[in-house]
Structure 1
Amino acid sequence: MSEPNELLRAARERTPSPSTPGAHMSRAELAEAVCAWLWATTDTRYELDGHYIAKLERGAVRWPGAAYRSGLRQVLNVATDSELGFTQAGGPGPLCPEGSSCSMAGMEDELIDSGDESISLLALAEESNVGGLTVEQLHADIQRIAQNYLKVPTKPLFQRSVAIRDRAFRLLSGRQPPQQTRDLYAAAGWALTLLGWMSVDLGRPDVAESHTRTAWACADASGYNELRAWVRATQHTVAFWQDDVEHAAEFAQDGLQYAAGSSALFLASAAALDLARAGRTDEAREALDQAQRTTPDSAVPEVGGVFLCTPERAAGLWSDTHLALGEPRLTLEHADRSVSLFEQAPHAVRNPGSERMVRLQQVKAHLLLGELDGARECLTPVLATKTEYRMRPLIHRVSEVAALTRTTQYAEDPKAQVLQQAIREFVRFPATIRDPLEQATSKVNA
């Protein structure tokens, strides 16, 4: 049997009930107060209930998720987790305690953590506080995350990016040769840029701004221009999805002075799109012409994934630029070419997030041209996107498609109404990073 968590229970019982004078807070009231605080501070709904609080007090769970620990500390007015009896696993005990499951299901986070811990030990195996193998491993991890983003579940990649950022800064607090210091700043910068990109996709561009400010400082400290360029590309993306196209254009244009690899193609194309959306038509056409004449330096090493602008990704940005310029036929021409190239690309370099957005540009172009059947055909693979990959920008663009199907041209068309219903179902379930304990609680309550 698990040892009861007397500290947690005592903390709850010395906290007054918000509804019954003279009584202490019940488990249900505690859960409700934690959820209310998390909603107020994170704008995220959690489903903690009294049953889960009882589980914590029984000691069945000794280390709840970070969000729940924060909420419990706040509501119960304590400063540390240890005051609530929370301790991480690792003490002695039976290999498979009575009443628990020894299944490997749900072990993904633990597997990631164990790998991170092993990697961190490289520093101890080398002569200085950080050696070449440690730095090499950090950068290899960054490449793997960037190349797998939107191909595998987001949460483990997000957590791993946080771990890389934290490990790089811990190592920077020690002593190492100047080149290794620059490489550590670069690793931290890439990890922060990944976190910025993911935060935009998860609907929190405000959080992304915090990541990218620190990423820019790291890029400056590292001296790596290609990192500077991709930080600016990410800052462009942050501003773009906040409808601040003027600042987005400024970030894209400033980034071009550092860009040499495929970042040059991305930034030039992004600048054209920003200028078109800002209504600066002549400048947009000039920037688009420059983008289409841009040839990345193949000698520049590429991280890959979101930090790689392939010809198909660039063509997608050009199609969006023509859409902003009110040219649906040119939009469709570039979008069709882009999708064709995506479909031919090897899995290792195929960018599914960009591909979905380009397919939506196909849909919009068909609708503007009065081609409802063509729009439906292009929309079908997008609506098949799994819930965990339905990022906020994708939801936003799909909603724009829905708006086009409600225009006068399609108002009474039964086929358009079918599309509207399909889109309504799609946008009901956006992707989110949820606390694993929240997921477990949701399943128990279902």
Structure 2
Amino acid sequence: MSGPNEFLREARERTPSRRAPGEHMSRSELADTICAWLWDTTEIKYDLDGHYIAKLERGAVRWPGAAYRSGLRHVLGIASDSELGFFPPAGVALNETEPTPPSSMVGHDDDLVNAGDESIALLSYAEESNVGDLTVEQLHADIERIAQSYLRTPIRPLFVKSRAIRDRAFALLAGNQAPRQSRDLYAAAGWAITLLAWMSVDLGRPDIAEGHTRTAWACAEAADHDVLRGWIRATQHTAAYWQEDFARAAAYAEDGLRYNAGTARLFLASAASVDLARLGRTDKARALLDIARTMVVRPAESEPGGVLLCTPERAEGLWANTHLAFGDVRLTSDHADHSVALFEAVPYALRNAGSERMARLQQAKARLLLGELDGAIEAAEPVLLVPPEYRVRPLIQRAAEVAALTTPYVRSPKGRMLRDRVADFTQRTGLPPRPESPDRRPVLEEQT
């Protein structure tokens, strides 16, 4: 591709200026906004300016670094690099870019292990009754920002910030404060640890996630926080599910339904129906699916949002998974289609990017089972363009399920093309090596 980058210029000129009402965003304003967002999410200072944006629009630079591409996608509300006219040079893999701060956990498996050990070590402290004296508004605001930007910005800075919030909350708890403030600090610590657990699952270490959630549960008990309890159970379900321990996943999900937990209840009922369907307990799975489909829930004020919020489109993706376990391929397709349509109706900046990608792959699986190869290719295409730093372990696993369903089509050029593209997608990731997972006991160790 040569000549000016009209995709980028047009995207900028479609974006309203935040400084001059009625005008579009200038190159300088775009650069400043990206730098501010990168500082907010990574705490690293960048020197992007309007001159560099001009170089991008002239086509002098066709493949900027990962951080700049991420900032451009976020500020301009664009889902993929290709929609901004960015394509890697021939012979350069998607993760071979100009030097930028690490955007994944490659080479940092020790950090995952150490963070899990540290959360476990804090368990006894969390179970004690301590008090402190400091407002936690900023801690909770930071948690919301992390949850809402998850899988739309690089994971490593978010992981580091979640860990820092956890440690800051526990440090404050060593002081003296009113009991209400102490509960707020425990809640902040619990949310931060829950995010660490969710990230650990996505980074291929659900075993470490379980250590985090035990301490998170102790924090929820100290805070007497039902919404947090619900999302911890959702996280425990997710960790067990991706270890294919569906009985334990279902036990966590069903137990979580005991709590008045905002939209976590919708997630838990939907997830439990998937688990039970996988176990062959069809009647109970259908009963929980019916409960989920008729459930009226509203976000709780304390829900951070993003990955810790269950929207109707996210629930539809889970229902598609349940019907696939039932063998109802047409209903799988219907729910996956509806899920994707609902996601597309939401502004990109407000979408749960991880759940949307999973729903699209569920859509591709249904198309393959229905004999609709072209439809499967169309459904998978947006996912196959996702940069390596966002290819988390569950997404890789679901993509592998798509690849397995291409076998009947490999004699056709399109079928081979889809199989090969998915294989390339699953091999080019920013994930640490996957360890052997130990056997886990199907019990609710923290239940009270």
Task: Judge same fold: TM > 0.5, yes or no.
Answer: yes
What is the aligned partner in structure 1 of residue 250 from structure 2? Answer: 249
Where does 1:114-133 land on structure 2 (aligned, <5 Å)? Answer: 130-132=133-135
Normalising to structure 2: TM-score of the pair?
0.67
Aligned equivalents of 1:223 and 1:131: distance in 2? 19
Aligned equivalents of 1:432 and 1:415: distance in 2? 28
- Residue 330 in 1 paired to residue 335 in 2? no
Aligned equivalents of 2:318 and 2:103: distance in 1? 35
Structure 1 residue 106: Cα displacement: 4.5
Q: Show structure 2 runs of 5+ residues with no match.
A: 1-98, 105-130, 434-448
Alpha carbons of structure 1 residues 289 and 310: separation in structure 2 relative to 1, 3 Å = same
Alpha carbons of structure 1 residues 405 and 160: separation in structure 2 relative to 1, 3 Å = same
What is the aligned partner in structure 2 of residue 222 from structure 1? Answer: 223
> Aligned partner of 1:131: which letter?
L
**8 Å CA contact retained: 1:239, 1:248:** yes
The SS at the match of 2:176 is coil
Structure 1 residue 225: Cα displacement: 0.3
Aligned equivalents of 2:262 and 2:177: distance in 1? 29
The SS at the match of 1:345 is coil
What is the aligned partner in structure 1 of residue 383 from structure 2? Answer: 382
> Aligned partner of 1:174: which letter?
G
Aligned equivalents of 2:189 and 2:132: distance in 1? 17
**8 Å CA contact retained: 2:204, 2:432:** no
What is the aligned partner in structure 2 of residue 264 from structure 1? Answer: 265
Structure 1 residue 431: Cα displacement: 2.5
What is the aligned partner in structure 2 of residue 365 from structure 1? Answer: 366
Alpha carbons of structure 1 residues 248 and 429: separation in structure 2 relative to 1, 3 Å = same
What is the aligned partner in structure 1 of residue 158 from structure 2? Answer: 157
- Structure showing greater Rg: 1
- Residue 239 in 1 paired to residue 243 in 2? no
Where does 1:366-445 land on structure 2 (aligned, <5 Å)? Answer: 366-406=367-407, 409-432=408-431
**8 Å CA contact retained: 2:361, 2:380:** yes
Q: Show structure 1 runs of 5+ residues with no match.
A: 1-103, 110-127, 435-446
Aligned equivalents of 2:331 and 2:173: distance in 1? 50
CA RMSD of aligned residues (A): 2.0
Structure 1 residue 432: Cα displacement: 3.0
Alpha carbons of structure 1 residues 413 and 215: separation in structure 2 relative to 1, 3 Å = same
**8 Å CA contact retained: 1:155, 1:433:** no
Aligned structure 1 segments of 4 or more residues deviating by more than 3 angstroms? 104-109, 297-301
Aligned equivalents of 1:343 and 1:356: distance in 2? 11
Structure 1 vs Structure 2: percent identity of aligned residues? 61
- For residues 46-66 of structure 1, give each alpha carbon's deviation from its aligned partner in whole angstroms, at most 9, with x where no partner exists: xxxxxxxxxxxxxxxxxxxxx
**8 Å CA contact retained: 2:102, 2:156:** no
Aligned equivalents of 2:176 and 2:277: distance in 1? 48
Structure 1 residue 347: Cα displacement: 3.2
Normalising to structure 1: TM-score of the pair?
0.67
Aligned equivalents of 1:106 and 1:250: distance in 2? 40
Structure 1 residue 319: Cα displacement: 0.6
**8 Å CA contact retained: 1:304, 1:349:** no
What is the aligned partner in structure 2 of residue 304 from structure 1? Answer: 305
**8 Å CA contact retained: 2:132, 2:176:** yes
Aligned equivalents of 2:197 and 2:167: distance in 1? 15
- For residues 379-435 of structure 1, give each alpha carbon's deviation from its aligned partner in whole angstroms, at most 9, with x where no partner exists: 1111000110000000011011111111xx32422211111111121111223379x
Structure 1 residue 105: Cα displacement: 6.4
Structure 1 residue 219: Cα displacement: 0.6
Where does 1:37-116 land on structure 2 (aligned, <5 Å)? Answer: 106=101
